[in-house]
Structure 1
Amino acid sequence: MTVKLKVVRSGTWTNPIFDELLGRHPGVDLDVFAIAGADEDGWSKLAQAHVYHLMASRDDLPARWHVTDELLQRCPKLLCVSSSGAGYDTIDVEACTKAGVAVVNQAGGNAMSVAEQAFGMMIAVSRRLCEQDRRLRSGERFSREDVMGSDISGKVLGLVGMGHIGTRMASLARAFNMTILATDPYLSAQEIEQRGAVPVPMHELLARCDIVSLHCPRNKETVGMFDAAAFKAMKPGALFITTARGGIHDEAALAQALQAGHLRGAGLDVWSVEPPPADHPLLGMGNVVATHHTAGVSHEARYNIAKVAAEQIALLAGGEKPPRLVNPEVWPVYTKRFRQALL
């Protein structure tokens, strides 16, 4: 290799292990630009970049730094874009594939953290923990029976998506003696069974489950998937939990299902606009536990994500194929472009 792989990352917070690993890699030249700084500096650095590592959360990164057709045209040397998480909402994968640019994410790096928070939300909603906290702090007088919740043990859990996170959810659910159903169009029935769940079609999952938890990606097939009809099809008194992505569920339809009493409660970590406005109807409901897209944000998860991201980029620097390639069909074109640029 005669030329170093030029890696540029957006200047949002990342665990230091990312810079440490790539900073001492002999085949990598790492640079950072401030997303709120002078645009000229960012564009100047990106114009020279072979790899662009960027924030995965669309509302945390200004739109001009998202990977779009326009950005790709302004950065012709780009060979790969790397998401800082399992999601890649800030990346137009189709545009990248057309341009011969590989896209990698860090799927699985924060899976246990997300599963833990999803499970915590299930318990918090079912046992009305946050409601009790708020009422105690307000000085309200109430009996313990007034805030009586329900156990999750023995209930039927439905997992929409059986990837890294869904698999860990199934593992946790077994400790609570739950029946675990799952649907995932990307996996065979045998694969779903091997990951610890009973495969069922979506309509059966909605009708049977006491708790429905979303662990699917946001894409053309899933945006708006949980609409008024889907909530209506859910079992009366069920709980809705999502740590997936905002936009997969219709927030207005969910609010209506909760107000009507068809659903008993919800745990929401993701929103159409993040953070949601303070006057959002769902934030005013006592049976909703709300968090700020933090399911995958723990000290351990942030370390794992940054380490995995650096390791994948190190593989690229050595001419190797990364294990978390979002658009594998681009690889032959990418390989040709890589050789032309660096060898």
Structure 2
Amino acid sequence: MAGTQKRVVRSDVWIDGAFDARLKREPGVSVGVFPIRGNPAAAWDQLSAAHVYHVSAAKDELPQEWFARADLLARCPQLLCVSSSGAGYDTVDVAACTAAGVIVVNQAGGNAPSVAEHALGLMLGVSRRMLESDRRMRRERGFSREDVMGHEIGGKTLGLVGIGHTGSRVARLAQAFGMQVLATDPLLSAEEIARRGAKSVSLPELLAQSDIVSLHCPRDASTMKMMNADTFAQMKKGAIFISTARGGIHDEAALVQALRSGHLAGAGLDVWDQEPPPLDHPLLAMDNVFATFHTAGVTHEARRNVATIAAEQIAGLLAGERPPRLVNPEAWAAYEKRRAQILR
């Protein structure tokens, strides 16, 4: 059946229109959209026949029944690929996909410029005490400008935990401010880290030497709670902690204590254990914490770029190409066999 229709299915979680527009131009490819609430029968009707499931990467916006886990895979016998809508894939059980011969792809790098800009914005906001000044301007009078006096980031040392797509861009932006950049990344050689704009050091060295520590690593078993009471204690007194990576990599309770004790001067956080965090979260009560709602990569430009990359990658793999952002290459051989059987 050479004319087998190739079915791409996604949920009705918001996505830039570039995704559907690109795939609808692809011969022999259809795009189906299912509701995440209110009509599970309609959702399963779409998913059970899908060849590609483009799943939202937002773990706290997508109901867990639509996560790409073993139970969902079992109900989707023709599924060949799970495509995450972002660089992360918290809604995807990669091991279960691999066991089922389903490849997983992400959109790594698609929003890197936006995330890098946001990280620098958090650094500036905390270091210059911009948020604190803004809050006090709105609620009180009688304080002096020196009461909210901050520090320049120029000449300071920035430590990057991870120097991939986003970390590399942060390194270049930081150099423009005259910062010294250190980085640790277990996946890269010292030479490659230097090529990306930083000096390679160990994590303990980075924590001890950096005025600002910024996370740009994936969330996985090796990084969960990597920033904890011990690692925060290893940071310089008066240092600033920044994360635009993923919630769970830093221990929120330990960060509260590091800030309350005065060991750390402030924090800029775009990611949380629960997104958004509860209104009574202690970090939200601190004027030296710049808090945002996982919006570092949420710009008009980034959303369109990620949607376009995702659609191009799906179009390519349905045409028989090996996708450039393959998360589980170990599943490729099984995927190819299944693809030949299912699409003929």
Shorter-normalised TM range: over 0.9
Deviation at 1:27, TM superposition (A): 2.6
Aligned to 1:180: 181
User: Which 4+ runs in 1 deviate beyond 2 A?
Assistant: none
Mapped to 1, the partners of 2:81 and 2:308 lie a distance apart of 17
Q: Which amino acid aligns with 1:156?
A: T
Distance 2:51 2:197 in 1: 40
Q: Counterpart in 2 of 1:149?
A: 150
Quote the residue 2:237 is aligned against: 236
One-letter code of the match for 1:191? E
**Aligned residues of 2:228 and 2:251 also touching (Cα < 8 A):** yes
Percent of residue pairs identical: 63
CA distance in 1, matches of 2:213, 2:11: 35
Q: CA deviation at 1:44?
A: 1.3
State the one-letter code of the partner of 1:121: L
- Residue number in structure 2 paired with 1:113: 114
1:289 equivalent in structure 2: 290
Q: Is residue 3–residue 28 contact of structure 2 (8 Å, CA) maintained in 1?
A: no
| 1:159–1:180 contact (8 Å) kept in structure 2 | yes
1:37 CA displacement? 2.7
Residue 69 of structure 1 corresponds to 70
Q: Per the alignment, in what secondary structure is the counterpart of residue 82 of structure 1?
A: strand
SS at match of 2:10: strand
**TM-score, normalising length from structure 2?**
0.99
Give the partner amino acid of 1:67. Answer: A
Alignment partner of 1:134 is 2:130: no
1:8-65 superposed Cα distances (whole Å, 9 cap, x missing partner): 0011100000000001211311100111231111111100001000110100100000
Q: Is the 8 A contact 1:6 1:28 kept in 2?
A: yes
Deviation at 1:140, TM superposition (A): 3.0
C-alpha displacement at 1:166, in angstroms?
0.4
Task: State the partner residue of 1:309.
Answer: 310
CA distance in 2, matches of 1:118, 1:135: 23
Residue in 2 that maps onto 1:200: 201
Matched residue, 2:338: 337
**Cα distance in 2 for residues equivalent to 1:257 and 1:333:** 48
Structure 1: 5+ residue runs without aligned partners?
none
The 1-side partners of 2:199 and 2:188 are apart by 12
The equivalent of 1:80 in structure 2 is 81
Q: Distance in 2 between matches of 1:165 and 1:172?
A: 11
Q: Residue 139 of structure 1: CA displacement?
A: 3.1
Contact residue 27 and residue 317 of structure 1 kept, 8 A: no
RMSD: 0.7
Question: Whole-Å Cα distance in 2 between the matches of residues 49 and 123 of structure 1?
Answer: 45
The residue identity in structure 2 corresponding to 1:143 is: S
Give runs of aligned pairs for residues 23-42 of structure 1, distance below 5 A.
Answer: 23-42=24-43
Shift, 1:4, TM fit: 2.1
* Structure 2 residue aligned with 1:12: 13
Mapped partners of 1:218, 1:206: distance in 2? 19
Look up the SS of the partner of 1:252 in the other structure: helix
Superposed CA offset, 1:224-254 (max 9, x none): 1111000001111000000000000000000
Counterpart of 2:106, as a letter, is: N
> Deviation at 1:330?
0.8
Is the 8 Å Cα contact of residues 80 and 103 (structure 1) preserved in structure 2? Answer: yes
Residue-by-residue CA offset, 1:159-184 (whole Å, 9 max, x unaligned)? 00010000000110110111100001
Partners in 2 of 1:5 and 1:230 — Cα distance? 49
Q: Which amino acid aligns with 2:201?
A: V
SS of the equivalent of 1:14 reads coil
CA distance in 1, matches of 2:38, 2:114: 32
In 1, distance between residues paired with 2:143 and 2:37? 48
Residue aligning to 2:251: 250
Indicate the SS of the match to 1:265: strand
What letter corresponds to residue 66 of structure 2 in structure 1? W
Distance 1:7 1:167 in 2: 33
Indicate the SS of the match to 2:310.
helix
Which residue identity does 1:328 align to in structure 2?
P
- Paired with 1:141 and 1:44, the residues of 2 have a C-alpha distance of 64
Distance in 1, matches of 2:131 and 2:185, equals 31
Equivalent residue, structure 1, for 2:58: 57
Maintained 8 Å contact 1:126/1:151: yes
Instruction: Give SS of 1:96's match.
Output: helix
Aligned to 2:159: 158
The reply on whether 1:220 has 2:237 as its aligned counterpart is no
| Counterpart secondary structure, 2:108 | coil
Counterpart of 1:273 in structure 2 is 274
SS across alignment from 1:107 = coil
**Which residue does the alignment assign to 1:100?**
101
SS of alignment partner, residue 20 of structure 2: helix
Cα displacement (A) at 1:2 = 2.4
**Partner SS for 2:32:** strand
Amino acid at match of 1:187: L
* Alignment partners' CA distance in 1, 2:112 and 2:129: 25
Q: 1:117 offset after TM fit, Å?
A: 0.2
Structure 2 unaligned regions, length at least 5: none
Tell me if structure 2 keeps the 8 A contact 1:183–1:205: yes
